[in-house]
Amino acid sequence: MAGRKVVSRRAVSGLETPVYCPRPPRTRDLRLFGRFDMDQNFQYKGELSQTALPEMLFTIDRFQVPGVVEVVREDVVKRVYIKEGSVTHATSTDLTDSLGSFLYRNGQLAPEVYQGTMQDRPKQNKRLGELLVERQILSPQDVYQGICHQLEAIVWSLFYWEQGEVTFSIGDFKDPDMLRIQLPMRQVILEGIKRAPNAKPLVSRLGRKETVFTPTYNLEDVVELALSDEDYGVLRKVDGKSSLYEICSDGPTSPADSAKLMYAFRVLQLVREHQSNPVQPNPIKIKMKTEGGQFPG
């Protein structure tokens, strides 16, 4: 599904120099990142232990600025490139995220082929995709699709992380090996949450099981997210009366999957917590002068 049409802000580009927006988001606007460390290069930092990745990505998407999200855990560094409301590229220093490892795990390369090409690659100073096409192991189309799916897998893997330092650097950064993909950010947030292996930390961010949510979405939101029948079925159960427990236990999906969907809907602002006791405006007090304890006629 195509991403939203977004008008980019004016910028000045360079190969190594990022494109800076004339009006970067203010620190208070990116408060979901938790801890801030903004320097002259417009970098915002946060910790996954304090703020979940989906909430950070939604905050970034609101401002529609280009940039790179870098997530570091121990000695592994993963980067996600963002432009015009979509994820366009991803990289990882983890060897298990490499193209060869991805194709091997998905059964597209036999063990002997995988080992042979990985050994020959540095000798011939060629990319793995080139070797696979030259040796007629895979077609150019297979290699291209494999790379796209590999980049998507790097993005999805970040939703498995509950610890790590996140840095968002504003700018139109280039990667010399960049092959562009286009994953609309709102769909990335939804799909990433659905793929998260553990629903418990997500559910804990929704409140108590008695919490009631009110729908705030419109049909355009539903179409843009390309919700499946089951996903939309969970969303339709949000009516401002049913509790979180009732929605998750009586939905078209499993309780764990329904809970993850509810978290995604809340992050994407399709629902909000129901205010049972809305704040009433202060009453206007009018003093009237009386005559002999009687109101004037």
In tens, the pLDDT along 51-86 reads 899 999 999 999 888 999 999 999 999 999 999 999
**What is the average pLDDT across 273-292?**
53
Determine the pLDDT at residue 276: 66
Kindly state whether residues 148 and 228 are assigned to the same domain: no
Determine the pLDDT at residue 41: 61
Query: Angle CA(57)–CA(166)–CA(72) in degrees, nearest 5?
Result: 130
| Domain of residue 216, residue span | 198-273
Kindly state whether residues 232 and 267 are assigned to the same domain: yes
Query: Angle CA(34)–CA(97)–CA(43) in degrees, nearest 5?
Result: 30
Mean pLDDT of the chain: 82
DSSP class of residue 87 equals E
**Rounded-to-integer distance, Cα 107 and Cα 65, Å:** 38
Kindly state whether residues 231 and 173 are assigned to the same domain: no
Kindly state whether residues 160 and 53 are assigned to the same domain: yes
Last residue of one domain, picked from the residues 146, 171, 196:
196
Kindly state whether residues 153 and 221 are assigned to the same domain: no
- The proportion of the chain whose per-residue pLDDT surpasses 70, expressed as a percent, equals 78
pLDDT tens digits, residue range 178-219?
A: 888 999 999 999 999 999 988 888 888 888 899 999 999 999
CB 239, CB 215: distance < 8 Å: yes
CB 171, CB 66: distance < 8 Å: yes
Last residue of one domain, picked from the residues 156, 173, 196:
196
* Nearby residues of 202 by Cβ (< 8 Å), 6 or more positions away: 52, 193, 196, 259, 260, 263
Last residue of one domain, picked from the residues 180, 196, 212:
196
Kindly state whether residues 123 and 153 are assigned to the same domain: yes
**Rounded-to-integer distance, Cα 231 and Cα 275, Å:** 24
In a domain, 259, yes or no: yes
Burial class (CB in 10 A: 0-12, 13-18, 19+), 220: exposed
In a domain, 292, yes or no: no
Whether residue 228 has pLDDT greater than 70: yes
In a domain, 139, yes or no: yes
Whether residue 293 has pLDDT greater than 60: no
Kindly state whether residues 90 and 202 are assigned to the same domain: no
* Nearby residues of 216 by Cβ (< 8 Å), 6 or more positions away: 269, 270, 271, 272
Determine the pLDDT at residue 25: 52
Kindly state whether residues 33 and 112 are assigned to the same domain: yes
* Nearby residues of 152 by Cβ (< 8 Å), 6 or more positions away: 90, 181, 183
pLDDT tens digits, residue range 12-45?
A: 222 233 333 434 455 445 554 444 444 456 788 9
Kindly state whether residues 41 and 186 are assigned to the same domain: yes
In a domain, 2, yes or no: no
Kindly state whether residues 227 and 137 are assigned to the same domain: no
**Residue 88: closest CA among 79, 99, 101:** 79
In a domain, 296, yes or no: no
pLDDT band at 2 (very low <50, low <70, confident <90, very high): very low
Q: Is 44 helix (H, G, I), strand (E, B) or coil?
A: strand
Determine the pLDDT at residue 17: 32
Instruction: Give the chain's domain count.
Output: 2
**Residue 161: closest CA among 255, 47, 265:** 47
Kindly state whether residues 25 and 61 are assigned to the same domain: yes
| Range scoring the smallest mean pLDDT among 160-164, 224-228, 280-284 | 280-284
CB 273, CB 213: distance < 8 Å: yes
Whether residue 5 has pLDDT greater than 60: no
In a domain, 62, yes or no: yes
In a domain, 282, yes or no: no
In a domain, 290, yes or no: no
**Residue 245: closest CA among 209, 293, 287, 214:** 209
> 20 or 278, which is more confident?
278
Q: How many CB atoms lie within 10 A of CB 235?
A: 23
Whether residue 11 has pLDDT greater than 50: no
What does each C-alpha distance from 112 to 104, 108, 198, 220 come to in angstroms?
10, 12, 35, 49
Kindly state whether residues 215 and 72 are assigned to the same domain: no
